Structure 1
């Protein structure tokens, strides 16, 4: 395989991994006040992701770093055109990280409520804006000669991008609710299951609309297959959540997220940034890539260190796999509720 194509696939995998893992802890953050009725329950909800949320964000850092190294022109053009929403996401992630650390520094209810609000907002903003950003990219950015972004902030907003933002917002909330049915017990788990049953049909409809529009605009046989898989998986997740089969429902939301992300990257290829001005100005995989020498070095480094990183993260999830109870943070068995 051409190394430029290989790294395009690798970046797609990194984004899929980021949305899969960060998606559920965004969901936990957004649902903190919905599912946690008192301080002890909210503390328990935070504990479910306390050992993994920062590790999940590493996938985003690696995706950005790989894009910078393997496709510097893609990185430069994308960040110049999407500077404002990306800056907002960065600030939201910083606030979110600080909220995790500072909430427990005081027992004052107002102090805790303030940082819980910061955690909710810091989770919801990236969850929505990632969908808006990828919707804007797929619709096409005003890229002119020399691969220079010539538009403004208004060029990033369209009904298609907004549907993308609503899709990721609801989908990550659903993913988080199903995660909590696995990681909590008692009333919190029951409330999480109820929320998942309400969010399920909304996520299915939004994903179907967004992926259908993607298929019409930039579709192929491959995107049709992955898009159908994504929608069917989300529908199955909703049905299984109603049947109280939480583990399989969570697995299917993960499948839907990965299939949906695959659809986006398949719809882009062979471009990495389509131009809304003229297809001749599309930034393609080959035009945006680094030299073969650079890509070769990156491939060897990734082959050596990637298994180590994946093994360490898998071990982390195993260590923090116990179910968290409600009041008192009691832990029970590993089995799925119901």
Structure 2
């Protein structure tokens, strides 16, 4: 018989995998952020836009599915984070809206704004969308300022007081004040740019753009590695939000996320393999002038790496969305999930 606990773990695995796929597909945003630096002529810009224009819907759709699945499987997180970290989410989502508008209308007849305006919107989405996604994801490890009143949960068909409340008036923008959040934000930005360079190198048949793309793999790959290592090492040696399985009490545990890796060896092995795949895709492309398939290694590695990071954030009695001001309000896969009936229906 499928238990409630199994379903909660199952749906966290699905959410983790969706997060990994979303980060990989952000290569579209990475390419948008390099439109002016990678291309110098109009025909080169059109080649880049056409290459990305056939892929942007995948990123947008994955983002929508990610949000919808979180709402259905862990609704308390959805209401807490989307309602609390309002400005961080809204700015990021607005950048995706203008991206869709830009691809749709920049080449339409009678375009009164001109292509440069829409390309500027694509650039903003490429930079802001990726950076804020990393900042928000980092808060799964660093914590956010919210409180949850479980006693306010109303019965079916009745209205009740607000369940969760954000305690910082900046409504999510305060996440930018945490250096570890900024480090992961920059890591995701440069990873997206690196994978975009790998994608262009694999996809385009253009000597000049190929040479530039190979250089851009190195120019963006090195900052990615630096910022990712800063975030990773900092997270592994920092305190984490552990959960007492008997009482549900949340407490601070030294090096909790390193402990999670050690106590979940399969996750640790897959994480290391994912990181190695990303590094192989980057540096083998840089040092082998004939190699053009780095996107497949880096892309698959990114999916695995991010998926394992999210498993470490939510498994092994860990609060995946911790409250830095009231640890007992922290969200776990147990106290924030939908009912067993809902999770089983969703699982089919």
| In 1: Cα distance, 2:291 partner to 2:34 partner | 17
User: Which of 216, 226, 236 is equivalent to 1:215?
Assistant: 236
Is 2:264 aligned against 1:264? no
The offset of 1:226, in angstroms, is 5.0
Deviations 1:295-330 (A, max 9, x none): 111111xxxxxxxxxxxxxxxxxxxxxxxxxxxxxx
Q: Name the counterpart of 1:239.
A: 283
| In 1: Cα distance, 2:290 partner to 2:166 partner | 47
Deviations 1:31-64 (A, max 9, x none): 1112222111111111112222113311111111
Change in Cα spacing, 1:246 to 1:113, as seen in structure 2 (3 Å) is farther
| In 1: Cα distance, 2:22 partner to 2:43 partner | 29
Deviations 1:140-174 (A, max 9, x none): 11232425332232542300011111101111000
Give the match's secondary structure for 2:94.
helix
Deviations 1:219-240 (A, max 9, x none): 1224654554444333322321
Give the match's secondary structure for 2:101.
helix
Q: Name the counterpart of 1:148.
A: 165
Change in Cα spacing, 1:59 to 1:110, as seen in structure 2 (3 Å) is closer
| In 2: Cα distance, 1:101 partner to 1:145 partner | 41
User: Which of 160, 182, 195 is equivalent to 2:202?
Assistant: 182
The offset of 1:88, in angstroms, is 0.3
Is 2:87 aligned against 1:71? no
Q: Name the counterpart of 1:11.
A: 15
User: Which of 191, 199, 205 is equivalent to 1:171?
Assistant: 191
Comparing both structures, which one devotes a greater share of its residues to helix? 1
Deviations 1:227-270 (A, max 9, x none): 54444333322321121354442123213422331243123214
Is 2:243 aligned against 1:199? no
Change in Cα spacing, 1:82 to 1:261, as seen in structure 2 (3 Å) is same
Change in Cα spacing, 1:184 to 1:274, as seen in structure 2 (3 Å) is same
| In 1: Cα distance, 2:282 partner to 2:276 partner | 10
| In 1: Cα distance, 2:290 partner to 2:190 partner | 20
Change in Cα spacing, 1:48 to 1:145, as seen in structure 2 (3 Å) is closer
Supply the RMSD in Å over aligned alpha carbons: 2.2
Equivalences for residues 37-76 of structure 1 within 5 A: 37-76=40-79
Equivalences for residues 124-163 of structure 1 within 5 A: 124-146=127-149, 147-153=164-170, 155-157=174-176, 158-163=178-183
Change in Cα spacing, 1:89 to 1:249, as seen in structure 2 (3 Å) is same
- Unaligned stretches of 5+ in structure 2? 150-163, 241-256
The offset of 1:280, in angstroms, is 2.3
The offset of 1:198, in angstroms, is 1.8
Change in Cα spacing, 1:14 to 1:216, as seen in structure 2 (3 Å) is same
| In 1: Cα distance, 2:86 partner to 2:227 partner | 26
Change in Cα spacing, 1:145 to 1:197, as seen in structure 2 (3 Å) is closer
| In 2: Cα distance, 1:286 partner to 1:110 partner | 50
Contact conserved, 2:23 with 2:188, CA < 8 A, in 1? Answer: no
| In 1: Cα distance, 2:285 partner to 2:322 partner | 38
Is 2:335 aligned against 1:275? no
| In 2: Cα distance, 1:257 partner to 1:245 partner | 23
Give the match's secondary structure for 1:104.
coil
| In 2: Cα distance, 1:65 partner to 1:6 partner | 16
- Tell me the number of residue pairs that the alignment of Structure 1 and Structure 2 aligns: 299
